[in-house]
Structure 1
Amino acid sequence: MAASAFIQAGNGRFRPDAFIGRVATILVTDETSLLFRVPKIFSLRLMSLSHIALAALAGLVCAAALLFAAGEAASRPTTRLIGPPPSDFPARVVTLPGPFGGSVSGWFAPGQPGKGAVLLLHGVRSDRVQMLRRARFLNRAGYAALLIDLPAHGESSGDRVTFGAREASGVVAALDYMRRELPSERIGIIGVSMGAASTVLAQPKPAPDAIVLESMYPTIDDALANRLRMRFGPIGASLAPLLLWQLPFRTGLSTQDLRPIQHVSSLGAPLLIISGADDRHTTWAETQRIFDAAAEPKELWQVNGAAHVDLHAFNPEAYERRILDFLSRHLRDER
């Protein structure tokens, strides 16, 4: 190996990159090497530091572009045509005045007088159909049921999904409708995930007579970190700030606007808080924090074996028994 090969022409300086590259080539490809005996077709080229830096920069740019696109996709409205209720569900289509001149769409099924009424609120990127099976068993038990599409979901208007903040206006509109239609009935709410967060962030006044919160996140920071950790492993949570910084310019909101745990104590209604024991989107420890922050009267139900799933579909018999017991104690007119 000639020493002149490692001297930079013109200034006589030693070229470490050339030296390292040649040594690496010998170690990897030279059949006489005592350290490596690898076929030449697997030979490696050592990239220069500048190439590595450029590759790293390109990777960061691609990652940033992907996260930017993810932020756009997460907040994009998820509207679709729902249409009339199923023929075997005794409900009618309702259209309620929504925020900023928009509308909130839903189905309303009357119940038996004095039995109470329940507002049903779906999760993120879903619609009222998610709550149809709950509405069926409640209506069979005599409850009136209102299922709505939260703003920017289903057939309801809205320009951005905001994870409960502006969806809260749909909760208020639905409760106003129920109080007009059913002035003598006690009213409860069942909210799932974002529907639960929308309920808490709405801070409805007057307070409902009973509230069920299912699989609700405590803060948007927790919710996003958990989901990124599930997808990318432990390093995923460190990516959360790259998505959260998009929140203000996409929605006009800050992370401080999406902290249901800070408002759950002021709901002023009996609470049943439910979550799956194996939920990784909202961990059991986070659910326990929410329960600890809530005011009395309150109840906590851990659904063993359940992840972040439809808890009614997971165990219909246990779910219906627990929900009907809770609602009957708070919504039934005993006069």
Structure 2
Amino acid sequence: MLILILITILLALVTLGIGYYFSNQVLRVNYAKQGSIRVANLENLEVFQDFSKKMRGEKFIVQSDFGYKLVGKFFPAKKSSTKIMILAHGFGGYKETMTAYAKMFLELGFHVIVYDHRNSGESGGNTITAGIHESKDMKKIVDYAKSKLDPGSQIGIFGISMGAATTLLYAGCIEDGADFYIVDCPYTDFFTEAMYRLQEEFSYIPSFARKVVAHLGNLFIQWRSGINILDASPINVVADIQSPVLFINTKMDTYIPPYMTQELYNKKQGTKFIRWFEKGDHGKAISLYPDEYKQEVIKFLANIHFNLDEQIYS
């Protein structure tokens, strides 16, 4: 009897430990407060600060509907412009990691907005929610962008990784509030991505057990944050996006499998384009192919008859 009790207690402790660990990996509780811009990434911070000073970046703060502040930078275009681009960073990232994209869109004549998602960088909030709450926050950023422009101006949104998934969730189930979207290495749904990460990082766990672990972790996530990661599923809403979408990825992405980009592209209705780059791991296309990346964006904008000032980027 005692042995049975001890085994039961041990199994309960193991279950609690697995659930807590999995949920913590997703939620990153109080990640921003602990200093999400790590010492190892200070180079990104310094590059961004120099860039911000040179390009006259203006800090702004927007209030989230969830009660915290969203912090970002607004970069005015070099010349008078009626175009603005919103940039959304990935999981565990922050606005300072988006310098290359900000530079590219400024060169194309856009005003540019970069901002920190909830529980990232300087923004508030104490959990990351895989795009669920982030997509609602994105609406607040879009509203802010519209306040900076005259009526009839054009808005685009670019997202990478979780920022790409957030962009698709925003456009598919919050509002299709931009004229176009560019998404680099998005996931189809976060639960499947979590299963994939378990497979890659804990290959010794049997496949049937990984699904149990993921569902157990999701229960803990619901208990700790009130969200269900099954709702972080761009694949379920991408067909509802009316505006054009450009999908980008490398064929060698080992963090979010490339087939997810293809599935999202296949599911999207209406105007859509996809570009594959041969080499490069997760989110590395722009650093390995900067010129080709920029030309792909230009081609996409030309294909959707988006007005670009050729004098700015030629």
- Partner residue, 1:104: 70
Instruction: Please say if 1:332 is aligned against 2:291.
Output: no
How do 1:122-201 and structure 2 match up within 5 A?
122-183=89-150, 184-201=152-169
Residue number among 282, 287, 295 corresponding to 1:321 in the alignment: 295
Question: Counterparts of 1:101 and 1:57 in 2: how far apart (Å)?
Answer: 39
Percent of residue pairs identical: 21
Q: Return the offset for 1:226.
A: 0.7
Question: Counterparts of 1:229 and 1:325 in 2: how far apart (Å)?
Answer: 37
| 2:95 partner amino acid | R
Unaligned runs of at least 5 residues, structure 2: 38-44, 310-314
Question: What per-residue deviation string (whole Å, max 9, x for no partner) do you get for residues 225-282 of structure 1?
Answer: 1101111126263332232222211221223311111111112110001122122332
Residue number among 201, 206, 214 corresponding to 1:235 in the alignment: 206
Unaligned runs of at least 5 residues, structure 1: 1-49
Asked if structure 1 preserves the Cα contact closer than 8 Å seen for 2:161 and 2:283, the reply is no
| 2:276 partner amino acid | Q
- Which is worse superposed, 193-202 or 84-93? 84-93
Structure 1 residues 132 and 202: CA distance shift in structure 2, 3 A? same
Asked if structure 1 preserves the Cα contact closer than 8 Å seen for 2:249 and 2:283, the reply is no
Question: Counterparts of 2:30 and 2:287 in 1: how far apart (Å)?
Answer: 26
Structure 1 residues 104 and 240: CA distance shift in structure 2, 3 A? same
- Partner residue, 2:312: none
Q: Which has the higher contact order (CA 8 A, sep 6+)?
A: 2
Question: What per-residue deviation string (whole Å, max 9, x for no partner) do you get for residues 132-175 of structure 1?
Answer: 11101211222110001112211111121101000112211111
Structure 1 residues 61 and 206: CA distance shift in structure 2, 3 A? closer
3-state SS of 1:125 partner: coil
- Partner residue, 2:86: 119
Q: Aligned pair count?
A: 285
Residue number among 183, 190, 195 corresponding to 1:225 in the alignment: 195
- Partner residue, 2:17: 65
Question: Counterparts of 2:10 and 2:128 in 1: how far apart (Å)?
Answer: 31
Q: Looking at CA atoms only, which structure, 1 or 2, has the larger radius of gyration? A: 1
- Which is worse superposed, 82-91 or 270-279? 82-91
Structure 1 residues 60 and 95: CA distance shift in structure 2, 3 A? same
| 2:31 partner amino acid | T
Asked if structure 2 preserves the Cα contact closer than 8 Å seen for 1:113 and 1:185, the reply is no
TM-score computed with the length of structure 1 as normaliser: 0.76
Question: Counterparts of 1:245 and 1:63 in 2: how far apart (Å)?
Answer: 11
Runs of 4 or more above 6 Å deviation: 53-57, 81-84
Question: Counterparts of 2:180 and 2:200 in 1: how far apart (Å)?
Answer: 33
Asked if structure 2 preserves the Cα contact closer than 8 Å seen for 1:115 and 1:333, the reply is no
TM-score computed with the length of structure 2 as normaliser: 0.81
